[in-house]
Amino acid sequence: DAGITQSPRHKVTETGTPVTLRCHQTENHRYMYWYRQDPGHGLRLIHYSYGVKDTDKGEVSDGYSVSRSKTEDFLLTLESATSSQTSVYFCAISEATSYTGELFFGEGSRLTVL
């Protein structure tokens, strides 16, 4: 399995509090992604990164920000969590050389916003 670690794996928080999820990789892959998975919606792309300090928005970026100061770490921040952000969050990485596009996923972080 690809070396991807997500933390925390489970978190319960209250509406209005900030939350940061961390994705750490040991593969030195250039591309990193944050998806959320919700029943009936499949996986939806939140943000992605194509290099250190290079990020872009996905399909559902409102309410989320990201940062990538090192190749190995990609942080997802909810500045003020809302109940609609209760979800399972998956980090994924890809070499994306020659547009191979194959993703390797982390184990997921289950976030509950009360």
3-state SS of 41-81?
CEEEEEEEEEECCEEEECCCCCCCEEEEEECCEEEEEECCC
* From 13-21, 64-72, 77-85, 89-97, span contacting other proteins (CB under 8 A): 89-97
Per-residue burial over 43-56, b if 16 or more Cβ lie within 10 Å, else e, is bebbbbbeeeeebe
- Among the listed residues 5, 7, 20, 45, the single contact to other proteins using CB under 8 A: 45
For other proteins, the closer CB: 24 or 44: 44
Binding mask 52-81 for other proteins (x = CB under 8 A): ----x-xx----------------------
Q: Which amino acid is at 111?
A: L
Residue ranges that bind other proteins, judged by CB under 8 A: 31, 33, 35, 40-45, 48, 50, 56, 58-59, 90, 92, 94, 96, 99-103, 105-108
